[in-house]
Amino acid sequence: MGVPHLPPLPAPTSWFPGHMMKFTRQLPALLKRTNVVLEIRDARLPLTSINRTLEGALKKWRLERGWDPNNPARRFFAVEACEHIVVLNKRDLVPEWGLEPFRKAMEKKFPYQRLHFASAQKQKDIRTLSDMLVKLAKDYPHAMELNVLVLGMPNVGKSTLLNALRNMGIKGRTPKAFQTSANPGMTQTLSTRLKLSLDPLVYAYDSPGIMLPFLGRGEEGAERGVKLALIAGIKEGLYDMRALAGYLLYRLNILNPTAPAYLALLPPGSAPTHDLDEFLALLAQRMAMVKRGGEVDVARAEVYFVRWWRGEVGSLATDHALPAAPGTQAWGFDFQWEAPAPAPGAERNFALEVQARMEEGIERYVAETDREEADENNVSETQIKKRAVKEEKEKRRLKNMSKRQ
């Protein structure tokens, strides 16, 4: 079948409606009454679903609560809880073999974050997270309550996870706490407090999903946008379905070259393919998507393929088997590396190899985002113009004040 090549990607679009800007401005004040930040990310995009625009406010919040700026794992004083818990949601959609190596790799780079893998459909995951919050509340018995603020990008599963925590923590029948939707942007304002535990008292706030104001320039920004659109993190219609289907086919072929997950959608006996037109024709044939005159409807097949990956139609099954041979390996859509053949007679520790590759990937991600910030590649032309106008207005204001004096 050959080696898959990255297909042409559309330029990154921008989707940052007013309610996102409003919440971003409110965040520093909200953190003053927050004890735990529960940041939800998508396990398929463990790096891409990090919202860098929130990091400044979170860093300031930690410093105000006594954490050492030179050693983020040490705290000078602890009057009340101040914890940043990162939840990698939808863990069932990534291979199990990468979970522990990723946890260890993230702990080395971000020792001040607690990492938890979860699926809202797995009771054990929700119980562990609920117990974690209850223990934090009990660690500070003089505090009247523990307040949890849930943050994350659109459509990573914040409201669904909170509903599961509510049902786990409050005995008896409880109504669904928050509305959920397969489309991003359902939650547009900070929610009222939701009680997660009675003894000790634990409350949570759901917040609007916050997208990056600008996805970046060049191939990196384009790929970032397509990844987020694939998990429905960006408003429907801003990305062409064919572009999403092409990238999804490319990624699934990298994840498992011999038996990619999409084979379950094709006619029995079909082989893996890099050809998007061939793939869509086979998918349309299998799903009986036919236009008048007997022509296969590839446009419907594009939509079905993407919706299947999002878990909106059909049954999405991922292959959790260990990579069997050297070559290109991947975990989720954010990690890809070349695994050489082991030296003759050498004992292979696969978990340590994967962890080392993930550490390299995390370091690259941090370096790239730092470089983008330094070069202002994460700021759109519109944002630059607005900032220039604001700075000019401030200069005029100061000039007028000096004249009056």
* pLDDT tens figures, 199-241: 999 999 888 888 887 888 888 889 999 999 999 888 888 899 9
pLDDT digits (tens, 9 = 90+) for 59-106: 999 999 999 999 988 999 999 999 999 999 999 989 999 999 999 999
Q: What is the pLDDT of residue 313?
A: 84
What 3 state SS string does the chain have?
Answer: CCCCCCCCCCCCCCCCCHHHHHHHHHHHHHHCCCCEEEEEEECCCCCCCCCHHHHHHHHHHHHHCCECCCCCCCECCCCCCCEEEEEEECHHHCCHHHHHHHHHHHHHHCCCEEEEEECCCCHHHHHHHHHHHHHHHHCCCCCCCEEEEEEECCCCCHHHHHHHHHHHHCCCCCCCCCCCCCCCCCCCCCCCCEEEECCCCEEEECCCCCCCCCCCCHHHHHHHHHHHHHCCCCCCCCCCHHHHHHHHHHHHHHHCCCCCHHHHHCCCCCCCCCCHHHHHHHHHHHCCCECCCCCECHHHHHHHHHHHHCCCCCCCCCCCCCCCCCEEEEECCCEEEEECCCCCCCCCCHHHHHHHHHHHHHHHHHHHHHHHHHHCCCCCHHHHHHHHHHHHHHHHHHHHHHHHC
Same fold, 18-205 and 218-330: no
Q: What is the pLDDT of residue 181?
A: 47
pLDDT digits (tens, 9 = 90+) for 345-359: 666 788 999 999 999
pLDDT digits (tens, 9 = 90+) for 155-209: 888 888 998 999 888 876 554 555 544 544 445 455 568 899 999 999 998 888 8
Average pLDDT over residues 21-34: 89
180 contact partners, CB below 8 Å, separation of at least 6: 159, 160, 163, 186
pLDDT exceeds cutoff 80 at 324: no
Structure tokens at 301: 């097949």
Pairing of strands 194-197, 202-205: antiparallel
Would you kindly state where each structural domain of the chain is located, as residue ranges?
Answer: 18-205, 218-330, 342-405
Q: What is the pLDDT of residue 185?
A: 44
pLDDT exceeds cutoff 90 at 387: no
- Give the phi and the psi of residue 220 in degrees, each rounded to 5: -65, -45
Give 17 or 309, the one with higher predicted confidence: 309
Average pLDDT over residues 316-331: 77
17: confidence class by pLDDT, cuts 50, 70, 90: confident
Amino acid 72 reads P
pLDDT exceeds cutoff 90 at 377: no
pLDDT exceeds cutoff 70 at 333: yes
41: confidence class by pLDDT, cuts 50, 70, 90: very high
268: confidence class by pLDDT, cuts 50, 70, 90: very high
Q: What is the pLDDT of residue 188?
A: 44
Q: What is the pLDDT of residue 14?
A: 78
Neighbours of 208 (CB within 10 A): 23
- Superfamily of segment(s) 18-205: P-loop containing nucleotide triphosphate hydrolases (3.40.50.300)
Q: What is the pLDDT of residue 405?
A: 65
pTM of the model: 0.84
Q: What is the assigned CATH class of domain 218-330?
A: mainly alpha
Of 94, 82, 338, 52, which Cα lies nearest the Cα of 210?
52
